[in-house]
Structure 1
Amino acid sequence: MRYINKLWIHITGPTAEFSLETRIFHSLCVIAIFALAYNVPFNYFIGLPLIALISLVAVIIFSFLYYRSRRQRKFNSTFIMFAVTGHVLFIANFIYNSGTYGPTDVLMGLSILLVLCVVPKSQQKPWVAVNILIICLLHYIEYSWPQLIPDTYMNKESRYFDITSGYIVVVIVIYYTVTYLRRNYDHEKRSASDKATSIEQKNHQIVDQNHELERVNTERNKLMSIIAHDLRSPLSNIQNYLEMVTEYELETDERRMVEGDLLKVTRSTIDMLGKLLIWSKAQMDGVNVKLGYVTLRQSLFNTIELERSIALKKDITLISEIDWEVKIVADSDMLQLVIRNLINNAIKFTPHGGQISFKAKHIGRECWLIIRDNGIGISSEKQAELFSLRAASTFGTDNEKGVGLGLLLCKEFTELQGGRIWVESPEGEGTVFYVSMPTGS
């Protein structure tokens, strides 16, 4: 079947090279050649040698027309020659095949159908008029001068055989013509539908790209605002301190107090710059995620110990209740950054003498890392924007300044590792951050 389809496509012409009308014309020529080739021996054996000769001439003519269109690609003039030749042949067939006693009227109806399938739309009405005019004129001649249209049948049986054969040929040609038209119509319909779907998908892609560009522009503007607002203030403090030291002689206690404040500002500024650089690099260059099986000890033990010492400076107790040998699927460096940011936040918003706990729970195919503090909590309004650039920077319990990027980094880096992050925080009752990582088992 596939071979037959390929052969037919080769005969009628590829869709990329020939229009639908031209391919229909090629198929009609081939069908007409076979139908007329059948009529040559058939008409000869029923006693119509002249009609057999006309059929043979028609086979040669249609073969020439097919060659002229398929090989020489002379389409428009060939279509006109096809229409003219078809009508001339049917006129001859009418005259030499018993007029209205033969099958010519039915064949003339077939002729106009085939002509309408191939000629340009602008020529269809004129050819219909020509076809009707020819039939009416031939009928009038036969009615007025019946001797001009002789009965060429040898007997009654040959006439009925000829009419029956002509009808069968007409039905077969109509069937293949309509089938071919329907198949091409369905093909064009599917192609149009596929193109429409493709255009719709591209439109969706363009809309998504526009939304992404809007998001990137919004984030860029937010980033510029952060840099302009949140970094300018600590840098101004450093400048003021240096000017003060240069212009005034400060007492030892005053100098120590100013230096302590300046150290806090400098540390906060370095922390903000670090987060800005990490986030900016991730947005511009993308992030190379290196996932693998790691134990909590390999990935987080040193980070927790470092954060414990930072918490002690604020009289905060950091408790860890963890099975350090639990294996998870993670990028060790990314996970360290996420947990370090979350514990830093907990330290920042927990008052002196407070407590922070770090726990791990194995739940199904996930390991939940839970950071809980008894700090000031987060309002429900702020929770809605907590993991985005819309989150406003806030001050900790010791006036530690945030940049608003830490939790955004945590969310992006957690999801890049195939994990999840969420928060529970009744205002005034502390905060619990959850980081769920796949265990791969």
Structure 2
Amino acid sequence: MLKFDFSNISYSSLKKTGTLWSDLIGSSAMFPLETRIFHSISLGLIVLAGVYIPYNFFEGLYIGSLSACLIALFFSYQYYYSRFQGRQHSNTLFGLTGILIFSVNYFTNSGINGSTDLIWPVYLLLVFAISPYNQHVKWLIVYLLCFLGVHLAELYYPWLVKYPFTVGRGQFIDRVTAFPIPAIAIYIIIKFIRRSYDKEKTVAEEKAIAVELSKEQILLHKDQLEKSNVEKNKLMSIISHDLRTPLMNVQNYLELLNQKELSSAERPELEKYLLKATNNAMEMLSNLLYWSKSQMEGPSVNLAELNLLTVLLGTLEMEKMHASKKDISLIYEISPQLTVIADANMLQLVVRNLISNAVKFTAPGGTIKVAADLLDEECRISVSDNGNGVPEDKQANIFSIKSEPAYGTGNEKGVGLGLVLCKEFTERQGGRIGFETSIGIGSSFFIFIPSASV
């Protein structure tokens, strides 16, 4: 028994075979599908003709051998000029050649009892595969008429038909040797159609994915533009009104002081009001500058292991003094052992803004408490007050640039950037921010940042 060892057939050898075939039929970039199918058919028929020429000759089928030789010469000529000279193959010549060859073969090879009838429809399929759609009906009619004509000729002139094969073995050999022609032709056509379909399907899927990605990018750009537009409007509002108004008040107070002699009773009250307006303007300007810088420069975070109380002590004492001017008590409870991983400047700004916000919305006589505790691998810093609480209609956008500024218990007005900065700077340090509130009872804002404490 013969044994075949396929273990030595490597992937590279198969790949080379595929590359050779692609070189023979031409690339899709150089030739359309119909032309590549024609090249494949031509090569297949040339190979088959090379087999049938000696076979028919030794079997005594000299006309069949001559027909196979003519087929080989014709398709070699057509293939060469189409593949290597870039000339368009002739659909008409291809179709008429088939009619001529198979008509002759029909009468020299047993007529209706021979194998020619197996090849007629397959050759017509080849004609369809390499010709434009608008020629298909024409070729269908021509082949049907020719097929009918040769059969009618046999019916009325049976002596035209030659019977080179003997009944039995000869007919068997004729059919068996004729079958590969339609089988191989059908294989080539179906293969190209499937490959072309799969390729078009892949291209369509890639285009669909590209459209979806493009759609997502457009929506993303739209959201970014809308956000930029909101930020622009917010900035213009701050510059044109929120920042301009307190500065105008300071200017008016200074003009009043310059133009009018004030009594000792009026001066302290006016100076107190002037200081309040100046502090509000400074707070607005400070937040505006921080926010503008963060938008222009992007993330620039210097994380380090910090002792929480040491970093916040100066900020807490300063805010304690500001709160006392409004008769608000500020107390803080932070363990000296707590250490965090944070950016010192960002953390100070966040806590300062949270305390300033609590002072703004807490009535005189109120209390603000700053506390810190360790939860798993995070440190929670909370700023709690017993002020007005956050109205329900403002809670959804409280950390957003879309939030509208509100007046505090002392008629203080911010620009709506304090909590936006708190959220942005907390997240840049790898933390998160949240709040709890009850109307008329108070609010508690808290941030979670990575802890370095064991």
Pairwise same-fold verdict (TM > 0.5) = yes
State the SS of the aligned residue for 2:49. helix
How big is each residue's C-alpha offset from its partner over 1:260-303, in whole Å with a ceiling of 9 and x where there is no partner? 22222122112212222322333344333444554435653443
In the other structure, the counterpart of 2:33 is 20
1:400 aligns with 2:393: no
Shift of 1:120: 0.9
Shift of 1:406: 0.8
Does the 8 A contact of 1:316 with 1:353 survive in 2? yes
Kindly provide the amino acid, as one letter, of the partner of residue 262 in structure 1. L
Does the 8 A contact of 2:126 with 2:185 survive in 1? no
1:383 aligns with 2:395: yes
| Correspondence for 2:424 among 387, 407, 412 | 412
In the other structure, the counterpart of 2:436 is 424
State the SS of the aligned residue for 2:39. helix
Does the 8 A contact of 2:319 with 2:352 survive in 1? yes
1: distance between equivalents of 2:77 and 2:307?
82
Does the 8 A contact of 1:94 with 1:100 survive in 2? yes
1:53–1:327: structure 2 CA closer, same or farther, 3 Å change rule? farther
| Correspondence for 1:150 among 158, 162, 165 | 162
Kindly provide the amino acid, as one letter, of the partner of residue 227 in structure 1. I
| Correspondence for 1:215 among 219, 223, 227 | 227
Shift of 1:369: 1.8
1:61 aligns with 2:74: yes
| Correspondence for 1:47 among 43, 53, 60 | 60
Shift of 1:154: 5.8
> Which piece of structure 1 moves more, 184-193 or 312-321?
312-321
Shift of 1:383: 1.4
| Correspondence for 2:247 among 235, 240, 243 | 235
Shift of 1:219: 2.9
Shift of 1:24: 2.5
1:70 aligns with 2:94: no
2: distance between equivalents of 1:74 and 1:297?
86
In the other structure, the counterpart of 2:386 is 374
1:243–1:302: structure 2 CA closer, same or farther, 3 Å change rule? closer
| Correspondence for 2:186 among 171, 174, 179 | 174
Identity %: 42
In the other structure, the counterpart of 1:296 is 308
How big is each residue's C-alpha offset from its partner over 1:329-376, in whole Å with a ceiling of 9 and x where there is no partner? 433332322222112112222233432222223223332221112222
2: distance between equivalents of 1:57 and 1:25?
17
Does the 8 A contact of 1:47 with 1:153 survive in 2? no
2: distance between equivalents of 1:42 and 1:294?
94
State the SS of the aligned residue for 2:179. helix
Shift of 1:29: 2.5
Kindly provide the amino acid, as one letter, of the partner of residue 148 in structure 2. C
In the other structure, the counterpart of 2:146 is 134
Q: Which blocks of at least 5 consecutive residues in structure 2 are unaligned? A: 1-13
Shift of 1:324: 4.5
In the other structure, the counterpart of 1:362 is 374
2: distance between equivalents of 1:136 and 1:99?
12
2: distance between equivalents of 1:79 and 1:364?
80
> Which piece of structure 1 moves more, 336-345 or 322-331?
322-331
Shift of 1:404: 0.8
Kindly provide the amino acid, as one letter, of the partner of residue 38 in structure 2. F
1:383–1:101: structure 2 CA closer, same or farther, 3 Å change rule? same
1: distance between equivalents of 2:26 and 2:337?
70
RMSD value over aligned CA atoms? 2.6
1:74–1:414: structure 2 CA closer, same or farther, 3 Å change rule? farther
2: distance between equivalents of 1:14 and 1:336?
67
1: distance between equivalents of 2:219 and 2:309?
45
Does the 8 A contact of 2:37 with 2:188 survive in 1? no
Does the 8 A contact of 1:230 with 1:403 survive in 2? yes
In the other structure, the counterpart of 2:10 is none
1: distance between equivalents of 2:186 and 2:136?
18
1:325–1:52: structure 2 CA closer, same or farther, 3 Å change rule? farther
1:86–1:363: structure 2 CA closer, same or farther, 3 Å change rule? farther
Shift of 1:155: 6.1
> Which piece of structure 1 moves more, 211-220 or 146-155?
146-155
> Which piece of structure 1 moves more, 141-150 or 367-376?
141-150
Kindly provide the amino acid, as one letter, of the partner of residue 128 in structure 2. L
Matches within 5 A, 1:328-339: 328-339=340-351
Does the 8 A contact of 2:309 with 2:334 survive in 1? no
1: distance between equivalents of 2:307 and 2:15?
58
In the other structure, the counterpart of 2:214 is 202
1:431–1:129: structure 2 CA closer, same or farther, 3 Å change rule? same
In the other structure, the counterpart of 2:7 is none
How big is each residue's C-alpha offset from its partner over 1:224-250, in whole Å with a ceiling of 9 and x where there is no partner? 223322123212212322332343222
1:33–1:209: structure 2 CA closer, same or farther, 3 Å change rule? same
1:19–1:285: structure 2 CA closer, same or farther, 3 Å change rule? farther
Does the 8 A contact of 1:238 with 1:262 survive in 2? yes
In the other structure, the counterpart of 1:31 is 44
How high is the TM-score relative to the length of structure 1? 0.90
In the other structure, the counterpart of 2:132 is 120
Does the 8 A contact of 1:316 with 1:356 survive in 2? yes
